[in-house]
Homo-oligomer: A and B are copies of this chain.
Amino acid sequence: MSHGLPTQPAASFVRRRRALGARLNGPALLFSGVARPRNYPANVYPFRPGSHFLYLTGAWLENAAVLVDGERDVLFVPAEDPEDVVWHGPSPGWDELQAATGVAEVRDIAELGQAFGGAGERIATIPAVDARTRFSQGRLLDRSWAEPGAAVELGERDAALADALVALRSVHDDAAIEMLRGAAEATVAAHRAGMAATRPGLREAHVRAAMEASLAARDMGTSYGSIVTVHGEILHSRGYGNPIAAGDLLLADVGASNGGWAGDVTRTWPVSGKFSPTQRALYDLVLAAQVAAIDRVKPGARYRDIHLAAGRVIARGLVDEGILKGDPDNLVERGAHALFFVHGLGHLLGLDVHDMEDLGDRAGYGPGRTRSTQFGLAFLRLDRDLEPGMAVTIEPGFYQIPALLEPGSKLSAPFDSDGTLNRDALAKFADVRGIRIEDDVLVTPGGNEVLTAALAKQAADVEALVGGC
């Protein structure tokens, strides 16, 4: 994504700003932020605008802000710096920007101070993600925010803006769905490229390179740091240096960023192209849990219930394999499934891969709902009642995490002592370190649509793609 104009019609952004304005009692100002330095100020990470700003304008602009105030929308942008033209080329003209975003007016962001000076506390805002913008924003709007990086307690006006943004952004409009479809399509292609590039004797880095190159060739990046590893039990593994060998499962959690909109897909495949019987058994179990969960995605369903239903499928399967003993419902109540399925079933998906997580649990948890403290459930990022237009991931998994399963560990000891956990049966599955299967699912009036359905998921279909080119 390069700098500049929205790629979708101005009407989409006008509609969003009007809808936001209708939910507010006063003006709101959202900032795009600035690029962050890697190792010195001029060497920056790839810029992406703040998601609230991007949602409301579609404009990929640095150091900009949008004022939503009834019909009087103003886009504030930096004045063109003659030297900057030499280094970065011409910027879009203000007329172009106005037409493409549908705002009433474009103004110089240097005028923000005089526009609001002294009356900033009347204007609702959300803290920018980058410290530099947040600092100047806090000064401009008279917010006494804490040190860089620390959590912010929103005041009443800002909290009302946050709630309005959550209400708006959690139910995707047609323009958003179009972008999510584009992200899903590119994500599917990246996973196919990764499967095709897999061969024993290479390193994880080789497969990651093939997957991200597939995105880069479409002029897309990733919406989060890719996980491509034979150590799937390290949930957010950050390295790509391990060799990949014939007996390994490779877990790839990679998603496209399509103009900021996120794809988020995980597949787990055998490096050799053929699952072992034990790998296949647990793969099919995770798949069964995923299919059962997706079947329950529909308007009115509570996401936490779907998470627990997936947990029951996992628990039942582990009982069938002799790894756990007991009644599946009871095992899930006691959290025994979370020895292996340690994280939440999924999260909201949108302009952020964990959509609106900059607002904490405000988006993921409805009013009156809070996170459980039970291990496993505590990691559940979403507990809403689903509505048409919401997009979620469904991503159950099975992991053998040494730190959790170590005999005598706080988590496993109770299940050892009462005979729930059969370590001899578990030992047969030593060639399964981690499996996750994840798709992106749109809630529709009649149920749901899997946006990433084009990607192989049945074990045999996955096997057929590995090492294919």
Contact = CB atoms under 8 A, between A and B. Distances in A.
Nearest to A46: B225
A276 interface: no
Interface residues of A, number: 71
A454 interface: no
A27 B3 CA distance: 44
A36 interface: yes
A203 interface: yes
Interface stretch (A80-88, A155-163, A165-173, A267-275): A80-88
A312 interface: no
A218 B353 CA distance: 27
A394 B41 CA distance: 22
A88 B45 CA distance: 22
Given A39-B352, A213-B216, A216-B208, A235 B45 contact: no
How many copies of the chain does the oligomer comprise? 2
Contacts of A38: 45, 48, 129, 224
Residue of A39, A203, A208, A225 with most partner-chain B CB within 10 A: A39
Contacts of A129: 37-41
Interface in A8-51: 34, 36-46, 48, 50-51
A37 B3 CA distance: 20
Contact of A88 (B208, B212, B238, B356): B238
Interface of A: 2-4, 34, 36-46, 48, 50-51, 82, 85-90, 129-132, 134-136, 147-149, 203, 205-206, 208-210, 212-219, 224-225, 231, 234-241, 342, 351-354, 356-358, 401, 403-404
17 contacts: A2-B240, A36-B130, A39-B358, A40-B356, A41-B358, A43-B224, A44-B225, A85-B403, A88-B236, A132-B147, A205-B218, A205-B219, A209-B215, A210-B213, A210-B217, A213-B216, A219-B241
